[in-house]
Amino acid sequence: MAPGAEVDRSLWQATAAPAPELPTLAESLRADCVIVGGGYTGLSTALHLAEAGASVVLLEAQAIAFGASGRNGGQVNPGLRLDPDDLVARFGAERADRIIAVSGGAPDFVFGLAKRLGIECDAVRPGWVLVAHSPATLAKLQRRGEQWVRRGVAMRALDADETAAMVGTRRYIGGLYDPRGGSVQPLSYARGLAQAATRAGARLFTHSPVTRLEKQGSDWIATTPRGSVAAPQVVIATNGYTDDLWPGLRQSILPVRTFQVATRPLGHNLERSILPGNHAVSDLRRLILYFRKDAHGRLIMGGRASSTQRGGARLFGFLTGVVQDMFPQLGRPEFEHAWSGTVALTPDFLPHIHEPAQGVLAALGYNGRGVAMASVAGKALADRVRGGRAEDLPLPVSDIRPIPFHGLRQPVLHLIMQYHRVMDWLGR
């Protein structure tokens, strides 16, 4: 298949557990809470609220996990983009310790949830390997490793030989092993959450975009083209697909499209030379690359970003070139799937939680690290909806801050990416 020819049919769609059959909203309903968005954030909120006995309606504009939750790399990684010491500098020791504990433990949460709910999603947990292509990146990884080791995590520095043995390429000068990471079939995981939420009593609707949210008395009314839901509490869980439903929310994140390709199953011999331990890998150059194998031994390579809907074929071509360069043992690899999805970046590299009005919560901006964190955030939002303390949320509640000159983000992002490309090339 020519990469880029079939961008909407991802590897995950081709191999996932069947989609739950869900209706489109065509009536007026009442609930304790209405959730906008059917990715991990919304599904985890719905599940945990329903399990606690609340009446919940979830409205998804397209299909369950249509957004990033059905398109991502499936890496269940711990931590946030900021390292622990950076979090302490930013939030002070006490608050930072809680953020570090919650984000560091987020993979435990996901693997525990999948096990408890019996979700079949090819969950494996051999650890996460972060690799460095330059001395500057290796130094950064060393600092990160030291900070987590100080906090009791059994991270381990990898030299060039160990890295080559674990990854199957000599392109890296070293790395860092983090035992907490693993991977899932991301769409199967999302569909499993949807099924579990439905079993627990949540009412989920697909092809039901919320087009208006307005206050009437003590209720919020979420209106879709053919129906509406009245509820005193609303959770907005739309991440990189955020529209103009709530003033300023779309402008508070940078939506960036990222790309993945997957080969055919590699076969026994190649599987033993490429990622023999099935680790998930992140290459921490400025324009990040991430790769792993799926349960059938296909190599999946992701990375490169675009701020527009254009340029797909070129970026898929770039990724196929990366695979050929990194793993020459593949010869001329054949690619079965190529697809993309949108992540939400934030200027401070942290997820944001907002409470812009009474009864309204929003969580978004996972900066490409949401498989674990969005699942955790959903549970925390459910606790907050049920009257939990704002201080117990994974991150402090912040005001919605539209990014200045958001309308100019495409040319600005393009320039920033060109700059990072040069810095990667220079090994800075």
Ligand X SMILES: Cc1cc2nc3c(=O)[nH]c(=O)nc-3n(C[C@H](O)[C@H](O)[C@H](O)COP(=O)(O)OP(=O)(O)OC[C@H]3O[C@@H](n4cnc5c(N)ncnc54)[C@H](O)[C@@H]3O)c2cc1C
Where along the sequence are the contacts to ligand X (CB under 6 A)?
36-42, 59-62, 66-69, 71-75, 77, 209-210, 237-241, 243, 245, 258, 260, 290, 302, 341-343, 364, 366, 368-372, 374
Tell me whether residue 92 or residue 364 sits nearer to ligand X (CB atom). 364
Beta strands of 127-253 (E only): which ranges?
A: 128-132, 156-158, 174-178, 182-183, 203-205, 212-216, 219-224, 227-231, 233-236
**What CA–CA distance (Å, rounded) separates 242 from 65?**
14
Q: Which residues contact 322 (CB under 8 A, 6 or more apart)?
A: 289, 301, 303
Tell me whether residue 327 or residue 366 sits nearer to ligand X (CB atom). 366
Contacts 24+ apart (CB under 8 A), 83-90: 83/143, 83/144, 83/147, 84/147, 84/148, 84/151, 85/143, 85/147
- List residues bridging with 58 in a β-sheet: 35, 204
Report in angstroms how near the CB of residue 211 gets to ligand X at its nearest: 7
Tell me whether residue 26 or residue 89 sits nearer to ligand X (CB atom). 26
Tell me whether residue 42 or residue 333 sits nearer to ligand X (CB atom). 42
Residue 40, classed as helix, strand or coil, is helix
Tell me whether residue 243 or residue 325 sits nearer to ligand X (CB atom). 243
Report in angstroms how near the CB of residue 426 gets to ligand X at its nearest: 26
Report in angstroms how near the CB of residue 338 gets to ligand X at its nearest: 11
Tell me whether residue 274 or residue 405 sits nearer to ligand X (CB atom). 274
Report in angstroms how near the CB of residue 268 gets to ligand X at its nearest: 26
**What CA–CA distance (Å, rounded) separates 278 from 223?**
45
The token pair that represents 249 in the structure block: 């929310």
- The CB-nearest residue to ligand X is 370
**What CA–CA distance (Å, rounded) separates 374 from 359?**
20
For 321, counting Cβ atoms within 10 Å of its Cβ (0-12 exposed, 13-18 middle, 19+ buried), the class is: exposed
Q: Which residue has the tokens 């570090």?
A: 100
Tell me whether residue 287 or residue 332 sits nearer to ligand X (CB atom). 287
Report in angstroms how near the CB of residue 379 gets to ligand X at its nearest: 13
